[in-house]
Structure 1
C-alpha cells in the first residue's frame, strides 16, 4: 500500500497534463474516428511513458542494474538508430498508391510542388520565433501532413521536439476534413468551386507504370540525394504493386506491413512525449506553427491553380490544388465531397487523387531537400 501511495504522490502536474493529452488522443481516435490506427497507440503510449517509474522506459534498479523498457528500446532501435519504422511504412504507402490518374494528367505534378510552399515559409517563421534552424526545419515539414516524413526529418536532424512534431503532424493529418475546407473557402469563390472538370483518363501503359517509380528514384537521387531513403522506399512499394509478378507481396505491404508498422510506430513515438520534454511553451508554439504550415500548404496549391487558370483555356477547379498536400487519400476525398456540395454532378475525385499522389512524392522530396540543406 505504501508503494501505491508513493507512486501517486510522485505524479507531477506535467504528467497529469500528459494523461489528459493521451486521453484526448484516444477520444479522437475512438469517438471521432480521426486516424485511429495512429492516434490511439500514441494516446495510450503517452499515458504509459508518463506513469511514475514506468517500466516501459529504461531504469536503474538497485541490485538489478539497468533494466530495458520496451518503448524506449523500440524508439532507440527503430527510429533513433536507423529510422527503420517510418521508412518501412513508406513501402506500404507506395504499394497503396495508384499513380495512374497522375500519369494520365501530368499537369497535376505541379500542384504537389506548389503545395509545399507552407513548409519553407514556416521554417522562416520558426527561425524568427527563436527556434534553432534544425528545429525550425523539422517544424516546417509538419505542413506536408505526412507523419512518417515529419518523424524521419526531425529524428535525422536531432530536433529537440520530436514528440510535439509527431503529434502535430498526425493530428493535422487526422483533421484534414475539418481544416482544409475552411482554408479552401477562405481563398475561393463559389463560382470557382463550381468549375467542372470532366475526367478523361489517358491510357497509361504497363511499361510506363513500371518505369515511373524507377525514373522518379533516379531523378530524386540526383537532384536531392538525401531524399533517396524516403522517395526510394515509397517508389519501391509502388514498383511491387505495378510489376504484376508480386501480387501477394503487394497485398502484404498494403495491409499487414502497413498496419503493423503504423501500430508499432504510433506507440513507439510516445517515447518523445515524456512530460518533462513535452509540456512547454515551445510545444504550443510548434502546434501553432504546424497548423500555419498546413493551412498555407493547402492555400499554396489553391492559389497556384488560380494562377494557372489565368493562362489556361481548360480551367482547373482551384480546390484540386489543395489536394497537393501529402495526406493521401484523405485530402482527395475532402475535395470530392466539397465539389459535390457545390454541384451534385461535379465529381473531382480522380483529379484530386492525381494531385494528392503528386503531393506524396513532393513531400518526400521536400523532406530530402531539407535534410540535404540542414544536415
Structure 2
C-alpha cells in the first residue's frame, strides 16, 4: 500500500514538473486560440487609433479656427467696437452692450453645410438663438418695449403745449423722403418702407416694421421660370443702423442744429409750460390711444402698448404694474432684443452692398428728420408773436430718440445761454416723435404689406 501511494505521488510530481518545464507542449486548439486572441487585440488597437485620428480630424473640421473667414473677424471687431463705445464714452450702453455682444455671438464661426443642422446659429432651426429670434421675426419684443416706454414717459409737456406735437410730426418727413430715395435706388417698395423708418431714430419701431416688410420670408413676385422671389431679410442692418444713429444723436444733431439756426434764434426763451392736472394726464393716454389707432390701425400693437403703459403710470392705482413695466420687463426685453438683433448680423448676411446703402440712407433720413423739425419750428414762428415764439432748436427733438434728443437740445441751448433751459420744452416734440414714428410705421404697413 505504501508503495502504491509513493508511486502515485511520484507521478503527480512528474506531471507538475512537465507542465512547468514544457508549457509549449499545449494542445493545437489552445495554440490557435491564443493566436486568434492576439490578432483580435492588434485589430482593436488599430481601430482605436483610426477612431482617434478620425475624432481629431472631425474636431478640427468643426472648430471655429477651421471655419473662420475674414468676415467673421470684421464683424467681431464691430461688436467689440460697439461695446467699447458703450463703456468708454457711455453711448447708449443699455443698447450697445447687448447688441455688441450679440454681434460676437452671431459671428463665432462654426461648420455649415447643406443638410447639416448644428443647432448653433440664429438662423438654424432648433437652436436657442433661433427660438429667441422668434420675438424679433414676429414683432413680439417691440410692443413690450413700448409698454415700458409708456410707463416711464411723462406727457405733461406735450399736454400743456399741444401745438408742439406738430414738430414731432414734421420730423417724420425724413421717413417718407428716404422711402422715395430707396425706391429710386432699386429697392422693392416693402424693403424701401422698412429702410425709411430709420429716420425716426426709433429702434423698436424699425424692428417692428422691418419684421413685417423685410423679413426674408414674404414672396414679392415670381421669376420668369415661375420661381418665387422673396423679399430681402434686412432686419439686422436696419436695426443696427437705427440703434447706431440713436447712440450717435449727440454727435450728429448739434452741427445740423447750429447750421440751420441763427444765434438770435438759439437765444429765444420760451414761456414755461402750464401745470397739468391729474385728470388730463389720465385722459391723454385714453384719447390718444383711440385717435391715433383710428388714424393708423396697423400701429395698434405699438401705440396700444405705449398708451397702456402710460395709463398704468398715471392712473395711480397700478403702480406695481407700472414699476414692473418700466424696470424689470423692459430690461429683460432689451437684453433679449439686443442679443438677437446683434446675432442676426452674421457676416455672410450682413457684409453686403445693401447694408452699406442702408446705413447711408439711414444717416440721410436721420439728418432730414432733424432738419425737418427745425424748419417747421421756424415756419411756426412766422405766425407766433412775443413769448409764444418757439426756439427752433427744440424742433430737432422731433425724432423719437427719447430722451437723448431733448438732452442734446438742452446742451446746445445752454452753450448759447447758460440760463436758458430747454429740456422740458424739448420733451414735448420728443415724445410726440415716438407717437409720430409709430403712426408713420402703421401708414407704411397699410399700403405696403
Shorter-chain TM range is: over 0.9
In structure 1, how many angstroms separate the alpha carbons of the residues matched to 2:118 and 2:251? 47
Aligned partners of 2:111 and 2:100: how far apart in 1?
A: 16
Q: Hey, which bits of structure 1, 4+ residues long, moved more than 4 A?
A: none
Q: Is the 8 A contact 2:205 2:441 kept in 1?
A: yes
TM-score by length of 1: 0.94
- Answer whether contact 2:67 2:111 (CA < 8 A) is retained: no
- Identify if the C-alpha distance between structure 1 residues 112 and 38 changes in structure 2 by more than 3 Å, giving closer, same or farther: same
Match of 1:71 among 126, 129, 141: 129
Matches within 5 A, 1:1-375: 3-4=59-60, 6-53=63-110, 60-61=117-118, 68-76=126-134, 78-81=135-138, 83-159=139-215, 160-199=233-272, 201-313=273-385, 314-375=388-449
CA distance in 1 between counterparts of 2:307 and 2:439 reads: 12
Tell me how far 1:61 sits from its aligned partner: 4.9
Q: Which has the higher contact order (CA 8 A, sep 6+)?
A: 1
Could you tell me which runs of 5 or more consecutive residues in structure 1 were left unpaired when the two chains were aligned: none
- 1:60 alignment partner, SS class: coil
CA gap 1:278/1:104 in 2 versus in 1, 3 angstroms: same
* Equivalences, count: 367
2:276 alignment partner, SS class: coil
Give distance in 1, aligned partners of 2:106 and 2:409: 38
Moved more, 246-255 or 166-175: 246-255
Normalising by structure 2, what TM-score?
A: 0.79
Summarize the Cα distance change of 1:317–1:373 in structure 2 as closer, same or farther, 3 Å threshold: same
Q: Which has the larger radius of gyration?
A: 2
Does the residue aligned with 2:117 lie in a helix, a strand or coil?
strand
Deviation, 1:7, is 2.8
The answer to whether the Cα contact below 8 Å between 1:94 and 1:238 also exists between their aligned partners in 2 is yes
Aligned partners of 1:61, 1:72: CA distance in 2, in Å?
A: 12
Distance 2:156 2:125 in 1: 51
- Asked if the contact 1:72–1:271 (Cα under 8 Å) also holds between the matched residues in 2, the reply is no
Root-mean-square deviation over aligned CA pairs = 1.8
Unpaired runs of 5+ residues, structure 2, are 1-55, 216-232
C-alpha displacement of 1:270: 2.2
Q: Using the TM superposition, give the Cα deviation of residue 271 of structure 1 relative to its aligned residue in structure 2, in angstroms.
A: 3.5
Give CA-to-partner distance per residue, 1:336-368, whole Å, 9 cap, x none: 111110001111111101111111111111111
- Deviations 1:10-61 (Å, cap 9, x if unpaired)? 1112212111111111111111111111111111111112212289xx9625
